[in-house]
Amino acid sequence: MKDKEQIGLSLSEEELKRYNRQIIMPLIGIEGQKRLKDACVFVAGLGGLGSISTMYLVAAGIGNLRIIDRDVVDTTNLNRQVLHWTDDVGREKSESALKKLKRLNPYCNIVAITSAIDESQAPGLIADASIIVDATDNLETRRVLNRVSLERSIPFIYGGVDGFNGMVTTFVPHETPCFDCIFPFDIKKKGTIGVIGPAPGIIASIQVMETIKIILGIEGTLKGRLLYFSGIDMLFREVRVEKNPECPVCSQYKVL
């Protein structure tokens, strides 16, 4: 029996139908869809970015998803965090997200966790995930995720938004700069940051595109490139980023 036929046995008839518009693409096919089903992705944060990224990951057939957020849904979240609805106010975001995502695709194994992400817990929370998707909103957590990414050689897909704008890049340990290479300084919060809903939607969609391409081994990712989106003038700008040879974080990790 051919390899593709063997792989196809792990996808049910319903799944083959569900993912047909992906499977018919030469860059994906049945083999690629099986890779998506076998993948495990860790999404940190279930707010504006996490709402979009988790829905597209589940819709695409990522077979194993580990999602985490420590907060509950607040009314002020509803303009952009489209995974949470009015009757979810006061509910844990992880619970709210799990309910919607399971309804979207029952073929995905989703583990929802209500917890903060700190230095001691992060390795256990990320566990066997093969990709980390950053949907957080603070530097401290991103630095924790960056260190786990380096320790375990796990790609780390960063996304950030502010107002009408956003930026995204993909960190691949030992190949690209790390998060601390390009964001080495602490930035004091200026209070509550305004965000228009479509901004995290655009950035999160790019993060999912990067995730899928990495899983499938498709070239053309944002490795070594920081993509900046300006929603005011509708322009994408690209900045080349390089390793800091004196980075106190990634310089201490050797190639595995």
What Rg value do the Cα atoms of the chain yield, rounded? 18
Q: Which of 31-40, 55-64, 186-195 has the lowest mean pLDDT?
A: 186-195
In this structure, the number of other CB atoms found within 10 A of the CB of residue 132 comes to 24
* pLDDT of 3 above 80: no
* pLDDT of 217 above 50: yes
| Residue-wise pLDDT tens digits, 5-43 | 444 458 999 999 999 999 999 999 999 999 999 999 999
Handedness of CA 147, 111, 131, 185 (dihedral sign): negative
| Residue-wise pLDDT tens digits, 114-173 | 999 999 999 999 999 999 999 999 999 999 999 999 999 999 999 999 999 999 999 999
Higher pLDDT among residues 59 and 1, named by residue: 59
Phi, psi of 227 (to 5 degrees): -95, 120
The residue-averaged pLDDT of 200-206 equals 98
Count of positions (residues) in the chain: 256
% of residues, the chain, pLDDT over 70: 94
pLDDT for residue 191:
77
pLDDT mean across residues, the chain: 94
The residue-averaged pLDDT of 166-195 equals 90
The residue-averaged pLDDT of 95-105 equals 98
Q: Which residue ranges form the domains of the chain, and what is each CATH number? A: 1-37 (no CATH), 39-252 (3.40.50.720)
% of residues, the chain, pLDDT over 90: 89
The residue-averaged pLDDT of 64-72 equals 98
Of 50, 34, 110, nearest to 84 by C-alpha is 50
Per the structure block, which two tokens stand in for 30?
Answer: 């049945």
The residue-averaged pLDDT of 2-7 equals 42
Per the structure block, which two tokens stand in for 176?
Answer: 């690209």
Between the alpha carbon of residue 205 and those of residues 126, 144, 230, 231, the distances in Å are 21, 23, 15, 15
Q: What confidence category does residue 255 fall into, taking pLDDT thresholds of 50, 70 and 90?
A: low
pTM for the whole structure: 0.94
Q: What confidence category does residue 189 fall into, taking pLDDT thresholds of 50, 70 and 90?
A: low
pLDDT for residue 8:
43
With beta carbons less than 8 A apart as the criterion, state whether 143 and 180 touch. Answer: yes
Angle between helices 48-60 and 198-216 (to 10 degrees): 40
pLDDT for residue 252:
87
Higher pLDDT among residues 5 and 48, named by residue: 48
pLDDT for residue 4:
42
Q: Across-strand partners of 235?
A: 230
